[in-house]
């Protein structure tokens, strides 16, 4: 099983919105073979808590623009790691310290990466 076209479209929209808010190290993993609850994990790094919030707002705004709302949102209070669950896609926006510590890429390294076609100059 692979991620649905809907999941891939949401992932690309969310990734573009995160990049527009200067998110870095943006990667996506097709986790559909390992998890029944979602198709894609999108992981984004922010350099500080304020930027985490800005990226969250940007992703939510972009996906709301195409008719999507998160079914769950966690981590708002601390703004260190915010999770936005859109069922088909789970977006992880992490402060750079959390990104290094939890190393989600290491956990999902055996899953296929999803090319995002983002501007890599960031």
pLDDT digits (tens, 9 = 90+) for 16-32: 999 999 999 999 999 99
CATH number of the domain that residue 9 is part of: 3.30.460.10
> CA-CA distance, 4 to 97, in Å (whole number)?
32
> CA-CA distance, 25 to 47, in Å (whole number)?
11
Asked if residue 29 belongs to a domain, the reply is yes
Domain that holds residue 19: 5-107
Asked if residue 120 belongs to a domain, the reply is no
Residue 121 has pLDDT above 50, yes or no: no
> CA-CA distance, 110 to 73, in Å (whole number)?
26
Domain count, the chain: 1
Reported as a single tens digit per residue, the pLDDT across 69-120 is: 999 999 988 899 999 999 999 999 999 999 999 999 899 989 999 999 886 5
Judge contact between 60 and 42, C-beta under 8 A. Answer: no
Asked if residue 122 belongs to a domain, the reply is no
Report field, pTM of the whole predicted structure over 0.85: yes
Model pLDDT, residue 77: 85
Asked if residue 84 belongs to a domain, the reply is yes
């Amino acid at each position: 099983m692979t991620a649905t076209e809907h999941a891939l479209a949401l992932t690309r929209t969310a990734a573009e919105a995160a990049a527009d808010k200067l998110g870095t190290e943006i990667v996506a993993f097709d986790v559909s073979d390992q998890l029944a609850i979602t198709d894609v994990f999108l992981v984004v790094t922010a350099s500080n808590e304020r930027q985490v919030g800005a990226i969250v707002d940007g992703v939510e705004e972009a996906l709301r623009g195409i008719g999507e709302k998160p079914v769950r949102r966690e981590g708002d209070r601390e703004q260190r790691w915010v999770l936005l669950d859109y069922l088909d896609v789970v977006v992880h926006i992490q402060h750079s310290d959390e990104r290094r510590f939890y190393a989600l890429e290491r956990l999902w390294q055996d899953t296929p990466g999803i090319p995002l076609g983002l501007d890599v100059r960031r």
